Chain A
C-alpha cells in the first residue's frame, strides 16, 4: 500500500508483474519441488567433488557408492533398525507419561514444586550425554539401560513445555470456573489440560528426536544390535559407506517417529479445533 503510493505509477509496474508471476510459481508445488531440487543439487556437487578429486571411499564415499552399499545391506540395516525404532518409541512414550505427570505435580503442588523444581532445572543444565556411561554401569548393557537413558534425555522438554502450558490458562477462565463452583478435577480436565495440549505437543516434538539420540548413544556404548551399533562397527572396519547408509536409515526412522507425533498433533488439534 505505502510502496504503491510512494513510488507512484513507476513503482506499480514491477509489482503487477510480480503478481502475475506468483500464481505461475504456485502452479508447481514449490514447497515440494524446491527443497528436492536443493537436496539433489547438493548430492550432485558431492558426487562431482568426490569423483573429480578421487577422494578415497574410506574418507568420503560418493552418494552413488553409499546408495549401492545401502542396497546391498538393506535387509541387515532394516533388521537393526527395529530395536532402535522400538526403543526410541518406547523411551519417548515413557518420557511423555513421566514428563506430563511430573509437570502436573509441579503445577498443582506448591510444596512439591518448591522442593523439586530447582533440581529439575539443574539437571537440565547437565550435558546429559556425559552421563550415558553411568547408565551402563548402573543398568548393564541390555535394553533397560538404553531405554532409561532415552527417557532421561527426552523428558525434560516435555516437563518444561507441559508446565508452561498448564500455567497458560487465562486467569479469568479460572475465575469463571471457581465462580461456577467447579471442582479441581473439572477445571483440570475441561480447561487446564486442553489449554496445555499445544504446548505438550511442541515439547513432545523435541522429545522424540532426543529419545532417538539417547538410544543411539546407548547403542554406541553398549549394544550388540541397533543402528548405533552398526555405525560403531562400520567405523571400526573403515566402512564409511556403511556408516552413511546406516545414518540414512536412521534419518528415515527419525522422520517416521517425528511424523507420527506431528500426525497425532494434527489429529488432536483438528478433533478439538484449536486455533
Chain B
C-alpha cells in the first residue's frame, strides 16, 4: 500500500450559481520518500487538494489515506509551507522555527539545538535572533521551511511556496529544497504553476486542469539525485517540460471550448 493514496476524491462547494466542482474525481498515489508536484493553472483546485491532504478541508466524496489512516483531521506528522512565509512578526527567527514545538508542547531545550542546525543548513545561522521584518522574502521562506521541519514530519505539504519570490531567489530556493531533500528524505507534495520548478524538484509531476479539475497526466521525472543548477539546460529536461506544457495547453483548449 502506498504512503499516500487519494481515491476518487471530489470537493464540491455550494456556490450561488449552483455547486462548484473544485476538485473532480482525482486519484493518485505517492510512495514514501517520493517528491510529487501537482502542476496546474490557478483555479484548478490544486490548493484545495493540498488542504484536503492536510486534513484542513473535508472531501465531499472519496477518501484520502496517509500511512494507512484515512485523513479526517490534521496529522501531527505533517509539515505545511504556504506561499507566504506566515511567520509571527513579534517572534525571533528561532522562536518562529520553534513555534510548532511550543504548540505541541514538545521539549524546547532539545529542539532549540535542532532549530539552530536547521537554520545553519539554510544559511540563516547568524539570523536566529532577527525579527521576520528584518529578513528578505527568500530568507523568510527559508525560516518557514525550517519551521515545517522542526517536528520531524514524515510528509511535507507545500502550497506554491516560492511563487511570491523573484526568479533568481526562486532558483536559489529550489536548490536549497533539493539539498534539504537529499539530507532529510521526506515525502513531499508540492503545488506549483511553474513547469520548470516542478521538473527540477520532483520524482513525479501530476498535471491538473480546470473544468474538470482533475489530474490529466502523471509523468515520472527520471533525473538522478543529487540534482544541480545545470539540470535545466539538458535536452531531456526541456523535452519533459514541453510534454507537460502540451498537457496544460490541451487543458486550456478544453476549458475554452467548454
Residues of A in contact with B (beta carbons under 8 Å apart): 170, 172-173, 175-182, 186, 190-191, 194, 272-275
Chain B 80-103 against A: per-residue CB contact (8 Å), 1 yes, 0 no? Answer: 101110101111100000011011
Task: Give the 8 A-B CB pairs with smallest separation, nearest first.
Answer: A272-B90, A172-B82, A172-B86, A179-B74, A182-B103, A180-B103, A179-B80, A173-B86
CB-CB under 8 A from A180, the residues of chain B are 74, 76, 99-100, 103-104
Complex Cα–Cα for A191 and B103 (A): 11
A273 x B90 contact (CB < 8 A)? yes
Let me know if B55 is at the binding interface, CB within 8 A: yes
The closest CB in chain A to the CB of B83 belongs to A172
B86 x A275 contact (CB < 8 A)? no
Min CB gap B132→A, angstroms: 10
- Asked whether A275 and B133 contact (CB < 8 A) given A170-B86, A175-B82, A190-B103, the answer is yes
CB-CB under 8 A from A272, the residues of chain B are 90
The closest CB in chain B to the CB of A186 belongs to B103
B102 x A190 contact (CB < 8 A)? yes
A275 x B82 contact (CB < 8 A)? no
Residues of B in contact with A (beta carbons under 8 Å apart): 51, 54-56, 73-74, 76, 78, 80, 82-84, 86, 88-92, 99-100, 102-104, 131, 133
CB-CB under 8 A from B55, the residues of chain A are 179
A179 x B131 contact (CB < 8 A)? no
A175 x B90 contact (CB < 8 A)? no
The A interface, classified by DSSP as helix, strand, loop or mixed, is helix
B84 x A170 contact (CB < 8 A)? yes
The closest CB in chain B to the CB of A275 belongs to B133
| 14 contacting pairs across A/B (C-beta < 8 A) | A175-B56, A175-B80, A175-B82, A176-B82, A178-B74, A179-B54, A180-B74, A180-B99, A180-B104, A182-B103, A194-B90, A272-B90, A274-B89, A275-B133
> A181, A191, A194, A274: which contacts B104 (Cβ < 8 A)?
A181
> A181, A190, A273: which contacts B131 (Cβ < 8 A)?
A273
Min CB gap A235→B, angstroms: 49
- Asked whether A173 and B100 contact (CB < 8 A) given A180-B76, A181-B76, the answer is no
Complex Cα–Cα for A179 and B84 (A): 16
Complex Cα–Cα for A273 and B99 (A): 16
The closest CB in chain A to the CB of B80 belongs to A179
- Asked whether A274 and B90 contact (CB < 8 A) given A175-B56, A177-B103, A179-B56, the answer is yes
- Asked whether A176 and B86 contact (CB < 8 A) given A181-B76, A190-B103, the answer is yes
CB-CB under 8 A from A172, the residues of chain B are 82-84, 86
Min CB gap A247→B, angstroms: 40
- The winner among A176, A180, A190, A191 for most chain B CB atoms within 10 A is A176
Complex Cα–Cα for A172 and B54 (A): 13
Min CB gap A177→B, angstroms: 7
The closest CB in chain A to the CB of B55 belongs to A179
Min CB gap A186→B, angstroms: 6
CB-CB under 8 A from B51, the residues of chain A are 175
B89 x A275 contact (CB < 8 A)? yes
Min CB gap B188→A, angstroms: 15
